[in-house]
Amino acid sequence: MWMSNSLLVFLGLFSAGLVAADANPDFMSVRDTVAKEYRNQEVETAEKYFHESSFHYHYDGRFATEVLPEEETIPHLSALIRTYLSTMKDIGVETWIMHGTLLSWWWNQKIFPWDNDIDVQISEPSMHFLDEYYNMTEHHFDIPGVEGGRTFQLEINPNYVIRSTKDKLNVIDARWIDTSSGLFIDITAVRKDDEKREHGQPGALMCKDGHRFDELDIFPLRNSHFEDFPVKVPYEYTKLLQEEYGSTAITATSFKGHEFNEETLLWDGPKLVHPFY
């Protein structure tokens, strides 16, 4: 298998037993206990934690000085999502794809050829778990065709404990960063929406970026594949995609100058690049 010789570089204290005990926290039951540990309950905003590079908003300037050549972007994104999914599976954290990544999955279970980012979500208890045991851990992977492999860093925004959407500079709760290129995946926590729950919506969920869901839209997660790797997708994926992007996004075979080829199930590149596009 693609990841079979992956080498996870952890500090010695991350023993398997320790991890297993806390893995897979149940979404419904855990938050009540975790909530007591929240620091800064009264704080609603904070300074921006993640700093994107000055040259591109999807790169981390600590690891790169320029964007990847265009033909390298998709292979790097593919390695990012596969190594991320593999790592989350290994450490027992449930994660799923959302937004534009879910839309590209809907078409052919692959990243759109014009994409430059990936969106994944985890539950709020899982974010606490990653904070406690995995912040700033580095994970090395052998990647076919990549000399020396690549190292990825998991970094948790300390402001994830602020649960308010008013904290607009910290809507991204964590990142999975390719330290070879600076390219990263945004990880957002899906949280219980306490206010809506008090007003008669018992399954209300929210993210700090303002997206709102119902538990029944996301759970139970469905198993699928993305970039030839096992992935989980929200239960009501069609409904979620229609709500976010409109019905044409899941039916129109012409998109961003590309045409969906029903035979190869691939997006054929633009035949003509319009100067104003």
Ligand X SMILES: *[C@@H]1O[C@H](CO)[C@@H](O)[C@H](O)[C@H]1NC(C)=O
Residues near 266 by beta carbon (within 8 Å), at least 6 away in sequence: 108, 110, 260
Give first-to-last CA distance, the chain, whole Å.
40
Q: Which is nearer to ligand X, 97 or 156 (CB)?
A: 156
Say if CB 181 and CB 58 are below 8 A apart: no
User: What single-letter DSSP state applies at residue 269?
Assistant: P
Q: Which is nearer to ligand X, 135 or 165 (CB)?
A: 135
Residue 187: which region, alpha, beta or left (left: phi > 0; alpha: psi -120 to 50)? beta
Q: How many residues bind ligand X (CB under 6 A)?
A: 5
Q: How far is the CB of 92 from ligand X (least distance, A)?
A: 19
- Residue 46 binds ligand X (CB under 6 A): no
- Residue 47 binds ligand X (CB under 6 A): no
Q: How far is the CB of 136 from ligand X (least distance, A)?
A: 5
For the sheet containing 266-268, what is the strand order?
254-255, 258-261, 266-268
| Residue of minimal Cβ distance to ligand X | 158
How many Cβ atoms from other residues are within 10 Å of residue 105's Cβ?
Answer: 22
**Among residue numbers 101 through 140, which ones bind ligand X (CB under 6 A)?**
131, 135-136
* Residue of 224, 220, 222, 218 lying closest to 206 (CA atoms): 218
Among 77, 97, 122, 156, binds ligand X (CB under 6 A): 156
The 57-76 site mask, x for binding ligand X (CB under 6 A), equals --------------------
Q: Which is nearer to ligand X, 21 or 136 (CB)?
A: 136
Q: How many degrees, rounded to 5, is the angle at CA 87 between CA 99 and CA 23?
A: 95
Q: Which is nearer to ligand X, 103 or 156 (CB)?
A: 156
- Residue 158 binds ligand X (CB under 6 A): yes
Q: How far is the CB of 173 from ligand X (least distance, A)?
A: 9
Q: Which is nearer to ligand X, 30 or 154 (CB)?
A: 154
Say if CB 212 and CB 197 are below 8 A apart: no
Q: How far is the CB of 158 from ligand X (least distance, A)?
A: 3
Q: Which is nearer to ligand X, 47 or 262 (CB)?
A: 47
201: which 2 tokens?
């919506």
Q: Which residues bind ligand X (CB under 6 A)?
A: 131, 135-136, 156, 158
